[in-house]
Structure 1
Amino acid sequence: MSDQLANTQQRNIFAIPFHPQWSDMDQNGHMRTNAYLAAAENSRMQYFTGSGFSAAEFARRGLGPVIQTDQLHYRAELRLLDPAELTLELAGLAPDGARFVLRNTFTRADGRVAATVTSTGGWLDLTRRRLTTPPEDLFQLLRALARTEDFADLTSPLAER
């Protein structure tokens, strides 16, 4: 096991195995941009679902995550069926939880980081169609995520209105 992967386990970072599929590949045999973004989205929902917030639970509560920006940084290639690990960490959070930054890191089996996806988002009230604060149990799930080394305190989008 690489030092980076061992460090992941010690910090209690949410991590899942990842293998790029045929449909994830571009014409050069590299993983496509959209595939990275889709895998990042999927890992976030796996984290929330595994913690009691399935898509049905979000719908029941009239609430959903909304991503406002994604930043993708490529570092090394991932090719078809390369074994990798996909992690999820908290990179920023507003005091009321209404805004968050989540970072996904794709790490190859050799320990090299293939890419990072940093996503800024918030919680959408599905009835009012406005950003809102999360319920306390969801807010606790965000705070339970391991924090990135560059974690930042954010301002609330609700305070900006």
Structure 2
Amino acid sequence: MEENVFYEGQIIWAQIDANRHLRHSAYADLCAQARSNMLRDTGLSLDRIAEINIGPVLFREELVYLREIHLNDEVRVTVVMTKYNTTNSRFSFRHEIYRSDGTKCAVVTVDGAWMDIEKRKLTVLPKEWQAIVVHLPKSADYEEVTT
């Protein structure tokens, strides 16, 4: 569980819903920050990517709730790539959110691609950056496709 942790932090009041647990959209926020940290740590910071007018876009986000997370809980978020298309740079990532006691509380899976911010069309990462993608953390069930 400790492997591939890219976000750690305390749950704050603004992230809590009327039922006194983590609100649904806060899960997505935690995972987005973990993904951003993971990309930065491997050499593909969102700032660097934006310099060439590229940004990530998500097509699908699936959240599976397992256990509640409450105010002041400390959480850790792991990120691994589960699928990557080397032809069109589409990607899938799986995030797991854990409380500090080790309890897995949620699994969030996202599918996306890279978008040319000016043209507003899907694009690929530059060839020289593919070597960085190779070093992103991969899941045990990682799949690489070329179609």
Q: TM-score when scaled to structure 2?
A: 0.87
Report the counterpart of residue 46 of structure 1 in structure 2.
37
The one-letter amino acid of 1:86's match is V
1:89 matched residue in structure 2: 80
CA-CA distance at 1:111 after TM superposition: 1.6
Per-residue CA deviation, residues 101-122 of structure 1 (Å, 9 max, x unaligned), is 0111101122221101111000
Pairing 1:58-137 to 2, within 5 Å after superposition: 58-96=49-87, 98-137=89-128
**Structure 1 residues 93 and 22, CA, compared in 2 at 3 Å: closer, same or farther?**
same
Q: Deviations over 1:14-58 (max 9, x none)?
A: 432132111111111111111010111111112223344444322
Identity of aligned residues (%): 27
1:110 partner letter: D
Rounded Cα–Cα distance in structure 2 between residues aligned with 1:51 and 1:153: 19
- Which structure shows the higher strand fraction? 2
Q: RMSD of the TM alignment (CA)?
A: 1.9
Aligned length, in residue pairs: 147
Q: Please tell me whether the aligned partners of residues 63 and 123 of structure 1 are also in contact (alpha carbons under 8 angstroms).
A: yes
Instruction: Report if the CA contact (8 A) 1:63-1:126 is conserved.
Output: yes
More helix by share: 1
Give the 4+ runs in structure 1 shifted more than 4 A: none
Deviation at 1:96, TM superposition (A): 2.5
Q: Does 1:23 align with 2:7?
A: no
